[in-house]
Structure 1
Amino acid sequence: MTDLLEPVRLALTAQARAAARAEVADAESWARTALAEARRRATAAVAAARTEVAEAARLAARADAADADRRLTRARLTARAEAHRRLRERVRETLRLRCSDPAVRERMAATIRSVLGEPARTGDAPGGGMLGTAGGRRLDLSVTALTDRAMDLTRAMEDPWQA
């Protein structure tokens, strides 16, 4: 099965990596802007606080910096989650389109017969792709299962969230 789906897996992995890099770049750009704004606010707060007691100014600056760090962390996590959701949806849509191609469907049916044996029964999977059964065994080549496998493979090969 791996040999037959290798080109699809490689294409999906390349697409997933490219999409992940683009989403991470967007998220990091947004995070840098948020950090610059947070730093600007913290600097303004420190300048205003200098007219007051020095200890109060230090406490305000620390509180602002900690708050900015928390907001930045929250923004990064939100951006990562959104990037992951978008990537998963792109992979799912790409697979849905490819799985509707008669040549791909024939290769999927051949893969099912190869893995499960010649008496294997094949059928359409809800949402796209194919399912195969033979003698109590089942092979799931649905769009959902293939998307999950592609995302797991991408995560296993390279964590796209690390800078």
Structure 2
Amino acid sequence: MSVDDVPARPEAGSGQQSDLLPETRSALEPLRDALLAQARAKAERIRARAEDEAAAVLEDARAEVAELIAAARTRGEADARALLRLERARVQQSNRAIVLRAQREIYDDLVLRAEDAVRRLLADPVARERLAASLRDRLGPAVVITDTSDGGLQATLPDGRLVEASVAALVREALTRINLEDLWATAG
């Protein structure tokens, strides 16, 4: 069982349920904002690099297309148009692959940075105890809290069910709340 499977207290006036307590969410808000700012900055750099690479690819493709058109004129206008369509599709696919690779790099970097930040945060005994108290508040006083190998916590309920609050689970949960399409749109 993961943190996602445990019923959460609804946030006042939101009409939705939240998996994190307001105190935990508030404590993580500066971290989330800083990580988003870093990710956006890196996304912008990678996007700019990808645009430069795409422009060079496009320029090369245009030169190649010009040669193809000149040769194709002798074979007919219809053949040249067909080749141009195929070349444009190839360039678009190549550009999209560059963007997707850049987005994956950004996401992987965001996960690593977020995990490092959460691990540092949970190294603070006060923050660690707040997370443990949050788990006890949500799951009851009979819950047994133990450390996870990645620096987080795990809660075991009397019936044997486990609630994971490991570093990886906390980061996964936080990243599900980020609309990555907005991140990519901001970078573009």
Q: 1:160 is paired with a residue of what secondary structure? A: helix
Deviation of 1:57 after TM superposition, in Å, equals 4.9
Using the aligned pairs only, state the percent identity.
28
Q: 1:22 is paired with a residue of what secondary structure? A: helix
TM-score of the superposition, structure 2-length normalised? 0.74
- Match of residue 119, structure 1, among 129, 132, 142: 142
Which letter does structure 1 place at the counterpart of 2:61?
A: A
- Match of residue 174, structure 2, among 143, 150, 162: 150
Deviation of 1:59 after TM superposition, in Å, equals 4.6
- In the alignment, the residues of structure 2 paired with residue 53 and residue 142 of structure 1 have an alpha-carbon distance, to the nearest angstrom, of 62
Identify which of structures 1 and 2 has the higher relative contact order when contacts are C-alpha pairs closer than 8 Å and 6+ apart: 2
Q: Which has the higher helix share?
A: 1
- 1:116–1:133: 8 Å Cα contact kept in structure 2? no
1:68-124 CA distances to partner (integer Å, 9 max, x unpaired)? 111101111111111111111110111111111111111122212212222322110
Residue 87 (structure 2) aligns with: 64
In structure 2, runs of 5+ residues without a counterpart are 1-19
- Match of residue 96, structure 1, among 89, 99, 119: 119
1:117-149 CA distances to partner (integer Å, 9 max, x unpaired)? 223221101211111223225432210110101
- 1:95–1:147: 8 Å Cα contact kept in structure 2? yes
- Match of residue 36, structure 1, among 52, 55, 60: 55
TM-score of the superposition, structure 1-length normalised? 0.84
- 1:116–1:139: 8 Å Cα contact kept in structure 2? no
Q: 2:182 is paired with a residue of what secondary structure? A: coil
- 1:20–1:87: 8 Å Cα contact kept in structure 2? yes
Deviation of 1:152 after TM superposition, in Å, equals 0.4
- 1:12–1:150: 8 Å Cα contact kept in structure 2? no
Q: Does the C-alpha gap of structure 1 residues 61 and 114 become closer, same or farther in structure 2, counting only changes over 3 Å?
A: same
In structure 1, runs of 5+ residues without a counterpart are none
Equivalent residues, number: 162
- In the alignment, the residues of structure 1 paired with residue 34 and residue 46 of structure 2 have an alpha-carbon distance, to the nearest angstrom, of 18
- In the alignment, the residues of structure 2 paired with residue 48 and residue 155 of structure 1 have an alpha-carbon distance, to the nearest angstrom, of 44
- In the alignment, the residues of structure 1 paired with residue 162 and residue 64 of structure 2 have an alpha-carbon distance, to the nearest angstrom, of 63
Which letter does structure 1 place at the counterpart of 2:146?
A: G
Which letter does structure 1 place at the counterpart of 2:171?
A: T
Q: 1:44 is paired with a residue of what secondary structure? A: helix
